[in-house]
Structure formats: C-alpha cells, structure tokens
Amino acid sequence: MMGQLSSGQNRLFYSFNLEDHIPANHLLRSIDQCLDLSDLRDYLADFYSPLGRPSIDPELMLRMLIVGYCYGIRSERRLCEEAHLNLAYRWFCRLSLEDEVPNHSTFSKNRHGRFRDSDLFRWLFNEVLRRCMDAGLVKGEGFAVDASIIKADASRQRGIPGDEQVNWGDPALSTRAVREYLEGLDAEALGETLPKYLSLTDPQARWTAAPGGPAFFAYSTNYLIDTEHGVIVDVEATPAHRTAEAESTKTMIDRVEDRFDIKPDRLIGDTAYGTAPMLAWMVEEKEIEPHVPVWDKTERKDDSFSSSDFHWNEETEEYRCPAGNALRSEWRAFKNERSHVTKANTINFRSRKTDCATCPMKAKCCPNTSIRKIARSVHEAARDVARRIATTPGYVRSRHERKKVEMLFAHLKRILKLDRLRLRGMRGATDEFTLAAAVQNLRRLAKLSSQGPPLTG
C-alpha cells in the first residue's frame, strides 16, 4: 500500500524537546561541554547600566558569534537567519523554539561598544586557554610562532600613494577606521616609515604582495602555539609587515608569561624571526633556545671566501683569515676609546693592506678590494647559539613541529572562512583574529577531550 504524508502543520500542541534532537557526537554539543561562561555576567557588569530596559543577554550574542566562526558564517545577517532555522544552533544558544533571534544590528552596536571597551574577546580567549591548560593540552616546553596574511576589507581602487597629501577633515573620510588611524599616528608601530600605498578606507591596512601575485591591502594574524597539541597560547594582529610580525612575538611571549606564568624552553620560527636583535632577545634576555634559521646575508654566491670561512677568537677579539692573518676593529690605539659600533649595530673588522697585498689567497678572498672587511653584529654571540642549535637532532624535530601552526592557518582560511576581514581598522582585525583563535582552541579542546585524557610523556 502506498503511504501518504499526514498533514500535521495545523496541530495546536507539540511535544518537542530540543535536547533529544541534537546528536551526542555533534560538534556543538562537544564544544558546549568545554565552554564555561558562568563568569561572563560578572566580567561585563561594569559595562551595563543598572537602569533602563533589559538588553539582549551577552551570553546569547557570544554563543551566536562562536557558532558563526565555528561554521564559517561570516555574515551576521546570515548568522541570525541560520540560528532561526537550525535546531542545533538554537540549542547551543539556549534558545527555545518560541524564542526570537536577536536582530543582526545588535551585534554591531555591542561589538563597537561594550564588547570592545571590555576586551571581551580577549577574555574569552584566555578562558578557553585556561580550560585547555586544565585539560593538560599545554605543555609549555616548546612554542612555535608564525604569521599569516589576511586581506583587509579595502579596495585597491581606494588607495593612493603614501606620500600624497590627504585632507583627513573631509566628511567623506570620517569613518571609524580612519579615526582610529589618526588617533594612532604618533604610535611607535605606525610612525616609523611612510607606507608605499595608503588605503582611504582602512589606512592601517598595509599594502603587500608577500604571498605572490598582485598586491593588496592586508593585516597579519600572528599565532604563538604550544607544539604539544597545537593549542594557540596567544594571538596578535599587526599590519602585514615583516618587522611588525617579528616584534609581535615579544609581545605574545611576555603576555603569556605575565598572565599564565609560562615561558617556553625553545621557540620555533622561520627565517623572519632569525634577525640578530631577535635572537639576542631570545638568548640573552628571555633565555629561550632559538630553533630558528639565522638571517644571514654574509654568505657569498661566488667562489670567494664568506665570513664563515674566517675563525673568530673571543679572547683577542679578532678574526683570522684562511691564510692566518688577523682582521681587527682597530690597528692602533686611540686617545679616546671608540666603540666602533655602526648604525646597523655591527663592528667592522679589517685586514692590513700589507698582509693582503702579498697573500696568495687574495684572488679568492678580496679580488676587487685592497683589504678584506667583515661586519660582525654586536649580537653575533646569540647568532652563534642559533647556529649550534641548528646542528642538533632537536632542531630537526622542531622543523617538523612548526608545521602545526601552518595547519592552523590553513584551517582558519578554509574551514572558518577567514581569508578576508569584515571589520576595518586594527581593532576590527584584533577582534576577528582573537575570536577566531578562541574558536579554534575550542574545537581542538572538544576534539581531544572526547578522545580521553592526553598522553603525557
């Protein structure tokens, strides 16, 4: 007999329980078990007035944002539509079938207001990280750092040369991102050089062609992760500039140490983090092993001797060339002592002209000059530490572990769909990057918690 669909849409009463319709292995159910927002209302209490009409519950908005970032729903308008229709989203957000979903404009008002003033997303990130620590997912022995470029919400058609005069008083340019840029013009991070190209839509975004291909306006999200289970221990937004990315590492390392009393034994990074000042900061100030390739431009591409072919004598503070002749920073005593340190924080060591003139190796050492000169960094001792570490088996293991942070960036762009920002300005980038990192940690915590306690060893 052919069955027939019964028409039950006109029934007056239903017996329906959302809890019964969410599978036990659903991602949101696993995340809900790991998420604790019991302190949220106390944290935000000072940012709400005791008078007036009750506002939308901040926990509801935060849970909806977590759903959006977890499933790559970038539009808040679409997020509200999905939360209205999806039973699992309603269950996670503590909404019944009869409860109304907040209007999408509510998110914008709170994000630019009390959420940003209270640094709510950083609070959420720290709370999730503490849960990861309590679950034993953070070992604290090895950290890896890297940066990934994310496109800004700024069109290249709205860009001008960086040295072109701009009338920032023009009402057409009076946007939140422009006001934030003007407020930060005197800040150290923004005032070092004029950008090559400036966006009138988002002036803090940096013009870059680093990934290859046509240039675009972008920010960088910087991750500091614990290599044991790939948990993100800190995140920082910077302009898409290599110097800013490297400097953010210091901020993240210090912040993790201050807030969680954790400092790694070793730090893994690529060549961008192998500059002499950065290596000196790791070795001399923080006592962290730099598992980082040394940024070295002294190696010559022709057949002539490189600086590595010269032997450094720490006691006499001089180099010895392959022929046994000395290279010194000074060949005579000065009445007033000189440091010989250049603006590039190097000390130049020179051979004697008489030694080079009669040397049989001159054609292979300094064929185009009368003497040989070596510029030695004032941080060369730290660079030597990094070079020695690069010859150890532990360094080889670290190079493999560095891939974990690259995998997180791939997950960020492909799964969470954060390959282009929706918010403008450094604060907008910070909000998006911090919330995305918190969600990535939540997903990692939910996954590993469902597999039982982590193995220790």
Tokens, residue 300: 């010559």
Residue with tokens 């140490």: 257
Residue 220 has pLDDT above 80, yes or no: yes
Look at residue 457 in the predicted model and tell me its pLDDT: 40
Alpha carbon distance 212, 134 (integer Å): 41
Residue 338 — very low, low, confident or very high, per pLDDT cuts 50/70/90?
low
Residues 173, 96 share a domain: no
Look at residue 1 in the predicted model and tell me its pLDDT: 62
* Comparison of pLDDT for 25 and 13, the residue scoring more: 25
Alpha carbon distance 378, 348 (integer Å): 10
Tokens, residue 283: 């070795």
Residues 193, 88 share a domain: no
* Comparison of pLDDT for 210 and 206, the residue scoring more: 206
Domain-located, residue 286? yes
What is the arithmetic mean of pLDDT over 263-288? 94
Look at residue 191 in the predicted model and tell me its pLDDT: 43
366-382 per-position pLDDT tens digit:
888 888 988 888 888 89
Please count the structural domains in the chain.
3
Please report the DSSP string for 161-205 in residue order.
Answer: ETTS---TT-GGG--HHHHHHHHTTTSTTTSSS--SEEESS-TTS
Alpha carbon distance 272, 292 (integer Å): 9
Select the highest-mean-pLDDT range: 14-23, 276-285, 314-323.
276-285
Look at residue 173 in the predicted model and tell me its pLDDT: 75
Alpha carbon distance 424, 203 (integer Å): 9
Beta carbons of 443 and 28 less than 8 angstroms apart: no
The 10 Å Cβ neighbour count of residue 385 is 18
Residues 325, 208 share a domain: no
Alpha carbon distance 307, 346 (integer Å): 14
Residues 289, 207 share a domain: yes
Residue 344 — very low, low, confident or very high, per pLDDT cuts 50/70/90?
confident
Which helix (H) or strand (E) covers residue 77, if one does?
helix 76-85
Residue 168 has pLDDT above 50, yes or no: yes
Domain-located, residue 2? no
Beta carbons of 90 and 97 less than 8 angstroms apart: yes
What is the arithmetic mean of pLDDT over 412-428? 93
User: At a CB cut-off of 8 Å and minimum separation 6, what does 334 contact?
Assistant: none
Which is nearest to 444 in space by CA: 251, 223, 274, 247? 223
Domain-located, residue 365? yes
Boundary (domain end) residue, out of 118, 153, 173: 118
What is the arithmetic mean of pLDDT over 422-444? 94
Beta carbons of 262 and 233 less than 8 angstroms apart: yes
Domain-located, residue 439? no
Please report the DSSP string for 336-399 in residue order.
Answer: S----B-TTSEEEEE--HHHHHT-TTHHHH-TTSSS-EEEEETTHHHHHHHHHHTTSHHHHHHH
Residues 285, 197 share a domain: yes
Look at residue 11 in the predicted model and tell me its pLDDT: 59
Residue with tokens 């920002």: 421
CA angle 19, 25, 30 (to 5 degrees): 80
Residues 145, 65 share a domain: no
Domain-located, residue 306? no
Bridge partners, 61 (sequence order): none
Residues 402, 371 share a domain: no
Task: Please give the backbone phi and psi of residue 216, each rounded to the nearest 5 degrees, phi first.
Answer: -155, 165
Task: Please give the backbone phi and psi of residue 341, each rounded to the nearest 5 degrees, phi first.
Answer: -85, 125
Domain-located, residue 454? no
Please report the DSSP string for 36-56 in residue order.
Answer: --TTHHHHHGGGS-SSSS---
Bridge partners, 313 (sequence order): 318
Residue 353 has pLDDT above 50, yes or no: yes
Q: Could you report how far apart the first and last alpha carbons of the chain are, in Å?
A: 63
Residues 168, 74 share a domain: no
What is the arithmetic mean of pLDDT over 431-441? 96
Look at residue 20 in the predicted model and tell me its pLDDT: 83
169-195 per-position pLDDT tens digit:
777 777 777 777 777 665 444 445 667
Residues 254, 174 share a domain: yes
Residue 329 — very low, low, confident or very high, per pLDDT cuts 50/70/90?
confident
Look at residue 190 in the predicted model and tell me its pLDDT: 43
What separation in angstroms does the CA of 226 have from each of 116, 215, 371, 394?
27, 32, 48, 16
When the pLDDT of each residue in the chain is averaged and rounded to a whole number, the result is 86
Task: Please give the backbone phi and psi of residue 148, each rounded to the nearest 5 degrees, phi first.
Answer: -135, 140
Look at residue 8 in the predicted model and tell me its pLDDT: 57
Residue 10 has pLDDT above 70, yes or no: no
Q: Which residue range forms the structural domain that includes residue 57? A: 18-118
Domain-located, residue 128? no
Alpha carbon distance 205, 244 (integer Å): 12
Residues 282, 252 share a domain: yes
Please report the DSSP string for 274-315 in residue order.
Answer: -SHHHHHIIIIIS--EEES--------SSSSPPGGGSEEETT
The rounded percent of the chain whose pLDDT value lies above 90 is 47
* Comparison of pLDDT for 122 and 155, the residue scoring more: 122
Look at residue 48 in the predicted model and tell me its pLDDT: 84
132-159 per-position pLDDT tens digit:
999 999 999 999 999 999 999 988 888 7
Beta carbons of 420 and 211 less than 8 angstroms apart: no
Residues 86, 49 share a domain: yes
49-69 per-position pLDDT tens digit:
777 777 888 899 999 999 999
Residue 336 has pLDDT above 70, yes or no: no
What is the arithmetic mean of pLDDT over 396-419? 94
Beta carbons of 406 and 414 less than 8 angstroms apart: no
Bridge partners, 148 (sequence order): 221
Residues 286, 150 share a domain: yes
Q: Is the dihedral of CA 7, 12, 15, 16 positive or negative?
A: positive
* Comparison of pLDDT for 427 and 185, the residue scoring more: 427
Residue 295 has pLDDT above 80, yes or no: yes
Is 142 strand, coil or helix?
strand
Amino acid occupying residue 198: L
